[in-house]
Amino acid sequence: MVAAAKQKSLRNPSELVDARLADHQRLAALTDVAARYAVAITPAMADLIDPADPHDPIAKQFVPDGRELNEQPEERGDPIGDHAHSPVEGIVHRYPDRVLLKLVNACAVYCRFCFRREMIGPGRGGLSPRALTAALDYIAGDAAIWEVILSGGDPLIVSARRLEDVTARLAAIAHVKVIRLHTRVPVVAPERITPALVRALRAKDKATFVALHVNHPRELTSEARAACARLIDAGIPMVSQSVLLRGVNDDAETLGALMRALVECRIKPYYLHHADLAPGTAHLRTGIAEGQALMRALRGRYSGLCQPSYVLDIPGGYGKSPIGPNYLGADGAAVADFTVEDFNGRRHCYPPQP
């Protein structure tokens, strides 16, 4: 526990050193990283970090690392192709029935693996009133848009008053039926989930969902669980999204514990993302084969409620594809014959042989 971290968010390497979250000998290297990529660690997350553990999984997510300046040839500033699908400012329209509405370009914390790390940070602001109106006009003008996903940055750092205005304006669009918010706030700043904010998220005659970004079971503190309960008890269903990260959750025991903890909180595991090719994140990425092996380890050994979809956001803006292990194969005896593998690795004919 870091007592100094309880006072305020830590926003530069000097503060990290003072809070004993980084060694003074690393200060120069971390200052170089912070000059390029935003740094912020909330009190809730700083308090979880064990300074004595050089492999602490919470620190790996939020404390800058000098390796972030080592870019690989395959990495790119816009790894999932947001820009290619942005018809107006603040909108990403990659799929026919849903759009992303990026309200703000800042977060409560800055993850070291963030796929939008080149686009977000303090001072990047958010949508101006004029840009927001243009974005909402775009949504209103396309009757195929069934769902609007509020993202950024993190939309839950916005004031309750502004969120209420946005949800009310979305509720006035007849063909929009679902409003989804992607956020880390219930975990990293649970005190922000106030009754006023919860009320602001509910829109008349619309379904509101909150997708929680969480990567390690330790993040689901009693305060975080209570914040999620405030949302769920108000009738807002929650799902989760996690990123597969080396040294954080790349073993079956940790990943399974995370998924179970989410289900215990009444949050349905939704996506396990293969880490994107964001600049300077190679040290945190696993291989796809490792991710597939982890999904095999979860299957059958953990409840079906605990099974997320393992997905890859295809570089260049081509969307997400499931990349989990395949349990079905062609038998070869006949076109309609297959073999299917159970969770113990045994293979069975389908249809069964007489």
Say if residue 313 is in the same domain as residue 330.
no
Contact 59, 248 (CB under 8 A): no
Contact 214, 187 (CB under 8 A): yes
- pLDDT value of position 351: 79
The Cβ of residue 330 has, within 10 Å, a number of other Cβ atoms equal to 11
Residues recognised as catalytic: 94-95, 98, 107, 111, 114, 116, 276, 313, 320
Say if residue 58 is in the same domain as residue 183.
no
Cis geometry, peptide bond prior to residue 351 (ω within 30 degrees of 0): yes
DSSP, collapsed to helix, strand or coil, labels residue 278 as: coil
Query: What's CA 6's distance to the chain center, in Å?
Result: 24
- pLDDT tens per residue, range 46-94: 999 999 999 999 999 999 999 999 999 999 999 999 999 999 999 999 9
Query: Residue 338 sits in which domain range?
Result: 325-354
Burial bucket for residue 47 (CB in 10 Å: 0-12, 13-18, 19+): middle
CA–CA distance, 32 with 40 (Å, rounded to integer): 15
Say if residue 349 is in the same domain as residue 256.
no
Say if residue 274 is in the same domain as residue 138.
yes
- pLDDT value of position 332: 57
Say if residue 183 is in the same domain as residue 63.
no
Say if residue 45 is in the same domain as residue 115.
no
Cis geometry, peptide bond prior to residue 153 (ω within 30 degrees of 0): yes
- pLDDT value of position 352: 80
- pLDDT value of position 3: 44
Say if residue 43 is in the same domain as residue 109.
no
Contact 81, 315 (CB under 8 A): yes
Instruction: Report if residue 180 sits inside a domain.
Output: yes
- pLDDT value of position 322: 95
Instruction: Report if residue 269 sits inside a domain.
Output: yes
Say if residue 287 is in the same domain as residue 334.
no
DSSP bridge partners of 326 = none
- pLDDT value of position 249: 98
Instruction: Report if residue 118 sits inside a domain.
Output: yes
Report the half-sphere exposure of 47 (CA within 13 A, side-chain side): 15
- pLDDT value of position 257: 98
Sheet holding 207-213, edge to edge: 91-95, 98-102, 147-151, 178-183, 207-213, 238-244, 267-274, 309-313, 320-322
Instruction: Report if residue 302 sits inside a domain.
Output: yes
Contact 80, 88 (CB under 8 A): no
Q: Which parts of the chain register pLDDT below 70?
A: 1-6, 331-336
Instruction: Report if residue 75 sits inside a domain.
Output: no
Number of domains forming the structure of the chain: 3
Instruction: Report if residue 78 sits inside a domain.
Output: no
Q: What is the largest CA-CA distance in the chain?
A: 72
Instruction: Report if residue 77 sits inside a domain.
Output: no
| DSSP β-ladder status, 207-213 and 338-341 | unpaired
- pLDDT value of position 5: 41
Say if residue 48 is in the same domain as residue 101.
no
Instruction: Report if residue 47 sits inside a domain.
Output: yes
Say if residue 306 is in the same domain as residue 175.
yes
Say if residue 139 is in the same domain as residue 245.
yes
